[in-house]
């Protein structure tokens, strides 16, 4: 016979640890904050160890809490999976995909109709967000993440991008390739990165590698979001330095033209599958299609130079 503390206490601890908040745990469990606090104190008394450090409204896990939380989290995931299999009709043809809004809108969605034509039986639900999500809690089957790849398995990486300077064709010279000197009358467009930890390429790094009159400074026009800056560039408000992945279609159609200069190394898009995700036929088909689309993009990018 298993000797376990009361299940309600374990549930309260797991929810509070996952959210790092007694308030959020209470909302999830439909109980009061006092009830959550009482259940956790009861569990701490039962095992003889503190599980949380409390500082005002903030709570952090103690070393003991950090040790047992992953085990309990995975156990609850497995229990939920067991009951889903028994009680819920499995819809292997419905998948939940998470990606940044820019990648979803600019690269994935223009190609998604091809997947739908090949596999009309698979329903794709797309969640665009810049926030780091709890993939288990959000029932995400596959996440496409963007960032450095130092610690990632190489088979998880599907694309690596670079940063080009581009401008709308309407403000570019018609008889030759555009150069940065052609845009002295326009401000350089730039945007704030949602993830400030990324050491992203910027105009100063690009300009340092371009032959131009360095005694005359360019004006800068800042945007709060990447998508706003991209739209501004397409409206002809000025040149923009951005990821080649996000402007693939615009470069191929000639709507945006590349400005002569370097291609600065960027980051990588990688696939992340929650450990507890049950294999789905729809997910297998989508992942295989996504990898093939990424391969075609890489080869075309290499051929275009």
Mean pLDDT of the region 274-286? 80
Q: Compute the C-alpha angle 9/11/16, nearest 5°.
A: 95
pLDDT surpasses 60 at 277: no
Question: Of the ranges 130-144, 158-172, 289-303, which one carries the lowest mean pLDDT score?
Answer: 130-144
Q: For residue 164, give both structure tokens.
A: 């080009």
Q: What does the CA dihedral 134, 137, 143, 149 come to, rounded to 10 degrees?
A: 30
pLDDT surpasses 90 at 97: yes
Q: CB neighbours of 273 closer than 8 A, spacing ≥ 6?
A: 141, 142, 143
Domain assignments of the chain as residue spans, ordered by start: 7-87, 94-158+268-304, 159-266
Query: What mean pLDDT value characterizes the chain?
Result: 86
Q: Compute the C-alpha angle 245/249/254, nearest 5°.
A: 120
pLDDT surpasses 60 at 279: yes
Q: For residue 189, give both structure tokens.
A: 């467009």
pTM score of the predicted model: 0.67
Q: What is the structure's pLDDT at 189?
A: 97
Q: What is the structure's pLDDT at 269?
A: 92
Q: For residue 257, give both structure tokens.
A: 């033209």
CATH architecture of the region 7-87: Orthogonal Bundle (1.10)
80: confidence class by pLDDT, cuts 50, 70, 90: low
Mean pLDDT of the region 143-156? 74
pLDDT surpasses 90 at 90: no
pLDDT in tens, 185-210: 999 999 988 776 677 889 999 999 99
* Higher per-residue pLDDT: 73 or 262: 262
Classified by CATH at the fold level, domain 94-158+268-304 comes out as D-Maltodextrin-Binding Protein; domain 2 (3.40.190)
pLDDT in tens, 235-248: 999 999 999 999 99
Mean pLDDT of the region 95-115? 93
Examine domains 7-87 and 159-266 and report if their fold is the same: no
Q: What is the structure's pLDDT at 104?
A: 94
pLDDT surpasses 50 at 231: yes
89: confidence class by pLDDT, cuts 50, 70, 90: very low
Measured between alpha carbons, how far is 150 from 294 in angstroms, rounded to an integer?
A: 20
Q: What is the structure's pLDDT at 1?
A: 58
Question: Of the ranges 32-41, 218-227, 255-264, which one carries the lowest mean pLDDT score?
Answer: 32-41
pLDDT surpasses 90 at 172: yes
Which CATH number is associated with domain 159-266? 3.40.190.10
């Amino acid at each position: 016979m298993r000797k376990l503390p009361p299940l309600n206490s374990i549930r309260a601890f797991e929810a509070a640890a996952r959210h790092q908040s007694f308030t959020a745990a209470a909302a999830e469990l439909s109980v009061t904050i006092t009830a959550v606090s009482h259940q956790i104190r009861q569990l701490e008394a039962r095992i003889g160890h503190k599980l949380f450090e409390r500082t005002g409204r903030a709570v952090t896990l103690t070393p003991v809490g950090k040790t047992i939380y992953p085990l309990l989290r995975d156990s609850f995931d497995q229990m939920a999976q067991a009951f889903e299999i028994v009680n819920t009709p499995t819809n292997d043809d419905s998948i939940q995909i998470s990606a940044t809004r820019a990648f979803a809108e600019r690269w994935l969605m223009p190609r998604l109709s091809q997947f739908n034509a090949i596999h009309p039986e698979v329903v794709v639900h797309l969640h665009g967000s810049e926030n780091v999500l709890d993939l288990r809690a959000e029932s995400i089957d596959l996440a496409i993440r963007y960032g450095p790849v130092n610690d990632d398995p190489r088979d998880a990486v599907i694309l690596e991008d670079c940063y080009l300077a581009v401008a709308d064709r309407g403000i570019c010279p018609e008889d030759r390739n555009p150069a940065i000197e052609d845009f002295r009358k326009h401000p350089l467009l730039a945007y704030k990165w949602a993830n400030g930890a990324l050491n992203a390429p910027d105009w100063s790094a690009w300009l340092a590698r371009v032959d131009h009159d360095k005694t005359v400074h360019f004006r800068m026009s800042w945007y709060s979001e990447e998508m706003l800056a991209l739209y501004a560039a397409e409206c002809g408000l000025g040149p923009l330095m951005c990821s080649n992945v996000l402007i693939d279609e615009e470069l191929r159609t000639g709507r945006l033209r590349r400005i002569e200069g370097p291609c600065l190394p960027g980051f990588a898009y990688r696939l992340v599958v929650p450990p507890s995700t049950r294999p789905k036929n729809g997910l297998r088909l989508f992942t295989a299609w996504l990898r093939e689309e990424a391969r075609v993009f890489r080869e075309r990018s290499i051929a275009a130079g």
